[in-house]
Amino acid sequence: MIHRNIKSGNKEDITVIELGSGDVKIQNVEYPTTEKQVGFIAISFTNDTPHEIGFDHTDAGEIPLDKWNPDVIISFFKLESLEVLQEQLNIAREKLTKLLKPSVTSDVSV
């Protein structure tokens, strides 16, 4: 779920995208360069009805602007920016994997 106006630390009015319950639609959108606008790639996040977590191939591709109603957008104009986000997601994946892994304990009697 996408939550708005959250306070975290000393900062207010933060938007939080909470993933894991299947109620946020994530779309990858491409818009080519035109005479009026530089092309870009965007990942959009939209509150949605709960659904199975996963990629819906029927929803991929270019979305007409009049049908695109995201709540949050991350847009990319440089490959380096996408690579930085990808690296941060890889780090978050490693941390979450460790956090969710059951701790290994051994019963050793001395």
Backbone torsion region of residue 93, taken as left when φ is above 0, otherwise alpha when ψ lies between -120 and 50, otherwise beta: alpha
Indicate the SS3 state at residue 53: coil
User: Over 50: is that where the pLDDT of 110 sits?
Assistant: no
Query: What distance in Å separates the CA atoms of residue 88 and residue 42, rounded to the nearest whole number?
Result: 17
Q: Are strands 11-17 and 24-31 parallel, antiparallel or unpaired?
A: unpaired
User: Over 80: is that where the pLDDT of 5 sits?
Assistant: yes
The domains of the chain are located at 2-100
Edge-to-edge, what's the strand order for the sheet holding 72-76? 24-31, 40-47, 72-76
Q: pLDDT per residue over 23-54, tens digit each?
A: 998 888 887 778 877 778 888 899 988 888 88
The reported pLDDT for the residue numbered 62 is 62
